[in-house]
Structure formats: C-alpha cells, structure tokens
Amino acid sequence: MQVDITYLIGQWSFYIGAAALASIVVHAVFLLIFHFFMPQAVLVKYFKPPYFREMECMLFTGIPYAPIRTVMFMRVIAFPSSGKVRGITDAHLLVPNWYRTVSKVMIVIAFANMLVVLLCMLGIGLAYLNQGPT
C-alpha cells in the first residue's frame, strides 16, 4: 500500500490548523480577561493626545475595539522599543512585573499561532494543488 505524501501533508495541516484556530479562540478569551486587568495608570498617562489622535481615542474606547487597544498596550509593555514611534517607551514601568511577563507570553503566542495557521494553509493548498485531475 502506497501512501501519498501530499495527502498526509494536507491531512496533518488540517489537524494542526484546527488546533491552532482553537488556540486562537482560547487566546482571545485570555485577552478579554486581561483587558480588565490593564493598569489604569497606563491608560491615564498614554491613552490621550499627543500619543494617540482624538479619533483613535474615541474609536478604541468602546466595544468592539477596546481589546485592540489592550493588545497595542500589551505589545508596548512587553517590548518597550516598539513604542518608539509614538513616544510610549516607559509604559512598562507603570505595570507590575507579572503583567509584563504575561504580555510577552501572549504576544509571542499570538505570533506563533499566526505563523502556524499560515503554514497550515500553505500545506492544505499544496495538498489541494497536487491532487491532480480527478
């Protein structure tokens, strides 16, 4: 019995991609939880002009865009040099160390999930393109 490698690539890409998508859902739940733990000192000091435009402040205040604001600040808290353009390089000093650690872990997991989903989509596409005429 001969096993077609492209079939296996497609099958395992689907399984791993489904697991990665489930992981993204779990990650989103944790993001919503940590949205409520965002230190108010960071928001009071940096979520205003000149760091953000008035429109951005209005947009990222309410539902559904407030968690996006949380992700932006978690990135700046985890990696302070990423806030250089807006001038938000000292936000990590206003949060506890555990929040900074959680921010780093969540940002790294988010990028890893995106990479895994992309690779799985490529694997599924490769398997689809290589199946030949039926």
If phi > 0 it is left, if psi is from -120 to 50 it is alpha, else beta; for residue 87 that is left
pLDDT the model gives residue 122: 87
Given a cut of 70, whether residue 97 has pLDDT beyond it is yes
Given a cut of 90, whether residue 99 has pLDDT beyond it is yes
pLDDT the model gives residue 3: 65
pLDDT the model gives residue 96: 94
The C-alpha angle with vertex 72 and arms to 64 and 17, in degrees rounded to 5, equals 75
Q: What is the mean pLDDT of residues 16-36?
A: 90
Higher pLDDT, 4 or 26: 26
* pLDDT band per the 50, 70, 90 thresholds, residue 134: low
| φ, ψ for residue 5, nearest 5 deg | -65, -35
Distance CA 55, CA 116 (A): 34
pLDDT the model gives residue 47: 92
Q: pTM for the full model?
A: 0.79
Given a cut of 60, whether residue 60 has pLDDT beyond it is yes
- Give domain limits for the chain: 5-129
> Over the stretch 61-76, which tens digit does the pLDDT of each residue have?
888 889 999 999 999 9
Distance CA 108, CA 86 (A): 22
SS in 3 state form for the chain? CCCCHHHHHHHHHHHHHHHHHHHHHHHHHHHHHHHCCCCHHHHHHHCCCCCCCHHHHHHCCCCCCHHHHHHHHHHHHHCHHHHCCCCCCCHHHHCCHHHHHHHHHHHHHHHHHHHHHHHHHHHHHHHHHCCCCC
Q: What is the mean pLDDT of residues 41-46?
A: 92
Residue with tokens 């991609």: 17
